[in-house]
Amino acid sequence: MLRQSEARDRPALIELFASPEVGTHIGGAQPRDELERTVPEVPGRRPGFFVVELDGATIGMITFDRRVADAPGPVRPDAGEAWLGYLFLPEAWGRGYAAEACEAALSWFADALPGEPVVLCTQAANDRAMRLAAKLGFTEVERFEAFGAEQWFGERVWSAAPTRSRAAVSDIPEVLFVCVHNAGRSQMAAALLQHHGMGRIAVRSAGSEPAEEVNPAAAAALAEWGLDITAEVPSKLTTEDVEASDVVITMGCGDTCPVFPGKRYLDWQLDDPAGQGIDAVRPIRDDIDRRVRGLVAELLD
C-alpha cells in the first residue's frame, strides 16, 4: 500500500538512508547518528512523497519531484517534468514489491495527469534499478557522467502506461470543484490542482448547469502557463460526484450543490470569467492559483 508518511515510518526511513547496500547506489550511506539527529519527527511530509507499507511494515519509499532546470542530465526546454525516485530496504528486494508499488504510483499519476511524461535517473551500473525502470516502461533518453559514475536518464511516456496494479493507493484526498457552467472557474481550478497536486490529489469538476464547452478565455489564460484544458467537456454535477469527494469547493453555485455529512465544504468567492476577455480572466486565474496552492499545502503537508 502507498500512503503519506507518518511518525512511525521514521525508523525505517533512517534505516534506508543508513543502509550500506542502498548507499552503494545513491552516492553513499549516511551516518546513522546524523540521521537520528536530523530526520524530522514525521519524515518526508511533502507533496510527491509516498511510503510503501507491506503487512504493517514500512519497506520503502517512492517520490515524485518536479525536475529543476539545472538538475544533472539532459538540458530540456520542458524541465519541470515529474521525476520518479524509488528506494527500498534490502530485505524487500528481489520479490517484485518495488515493481508493484511503482506501477501503482505511476498508474495513479497517469490518471491524475494524463499524458504527462515521467523521467528517472539512475546509475547505469545499478542493475536492479535498471531492470525495474525497463519493467515500468521507461526508455533511454541519454547517458551521461555525473557524481563519478555513468548515469542513465530515461523517460516513460503516456503510451507506455503500465497496467493497473494490485496494490492499493489510499489516503488520497478527493476534491470536487463546482460552479454553474463548469466552463471557467471550476475548470481552471481543476487543472491547476492537478498540476500542483502532481498526482497526490484526485480532482473532479462539474457544474449545476453545464455549458456546451470550456470558456475559451479561461483556456487561453491557462495556455499561457502551459496547461491545456481545451479537450475538457463541462459535465453535469451528480450526487455521486459529491459523495465520492472529501472536499467540495463551490464557486457561485449556491445551494444547488447537494450537502452530505462528513464532507468539507468551501465556497470560493471568485469573479466570473463568463463573457470576459483574457485581460479580465488573468487575475481570476491568479486568484484561483493562489487558493489552489494553499489547498495543496493544507491537504498534503
Ligand X SMILES: CC(C)(COP(=O)(O)OP(=O)(O)OC[C@H]1O[C@@H](n2cnc3c(N)ncnc32)[C@H](O)[C@@H]1OP(=O)(O)O)[C@@H](O)C(=O)NCCC(=O)NCCS
Contacts to ligand X by CB under 6 A: 22, 25-26, 85-88, 93-99, 122, 126, 128-129, 131-132, 135
Min dist. Cβ of residue 12 to ligand X (A): 12
Grouping H, G, I as helix, E, B as strand and the rest as coil, residue 259 is coil
Q: DSSP 3-state assignment of 202?
A: strand
Residue 127's φ and ψ, nearest 5 degrees, are -55, -45
Closest separation between CB of residue 138 and ligand X, Å? 11
What minimum distance in Å lies between the beta carbon of 217 and ligand X? Answer: 42
Residue 133 and residue 122: Cα distance in Å, rounded? 9
Residue 114 Cβ vs ligand X, minimum distance, rounded to whole Å? 25
Output 121 or 257, the one with its CB closest to ligand X.
Answer: 121
Question: Residue with CB nearest ligand X?
Answer: 96
Q: Between 84 and 253, whose beta carbon lies closer to ligand X?
A: 84
85/216 with CB nearer ligand X: 85
Q: Work out how close the CB of 35 gets to ligand X at its nearest, in angstroms, rounded to a whole number.
A: 16
Identify which of residues 8 and 131 has a Cβ nearer to ligand X in the complex. 131
We find the least distance from the C-beta atom of residue 300 to ligand X, in angstroms, to be 22
Taken in order 278, 282, 283, 287, the sign of the CA dihedral is positive
Q: What is the closest distance, in whole angstroms, from the C-beta atom of residue 127 to ligand X in the complex?
A: 8
Task: Provide, for the chain, the percentages of residues in helix, strand and coil under a 3-state DSSP scheme, each rounded to the nearest 5.
Answer: 35, 25, 40
Toward ligand X, which CB reaches closer, 82 or 87? 87
Cβ neighbours, 10 Å, residue 194: 22
For CA atoms 195, 166, 171, 257, give the dihedral sign. Answer: positive
Residue 42 C-alpha cell reads as: 514525521
Contacts 24+ apart (CB under 8 A), 245-250: 245/174, 245/175, 245/176, 245/204, 246/173, 246/174, 246/175, 247/173, 247/174, 247/175, 247/176, 247/295, 247/299, 248/175, 248/176, 248/178, 249/175, 249/176, 249/177, 249/178, 249/189, 249/295, 250/178, 250/179
Sheet holding 149-156, edge to edge: 2-3, 49-54, 57-66, 82-88, 118-123, 149-156, 139-146
Q: How far is the CB of 149 from ligand X (least distance, A)?
A: 12
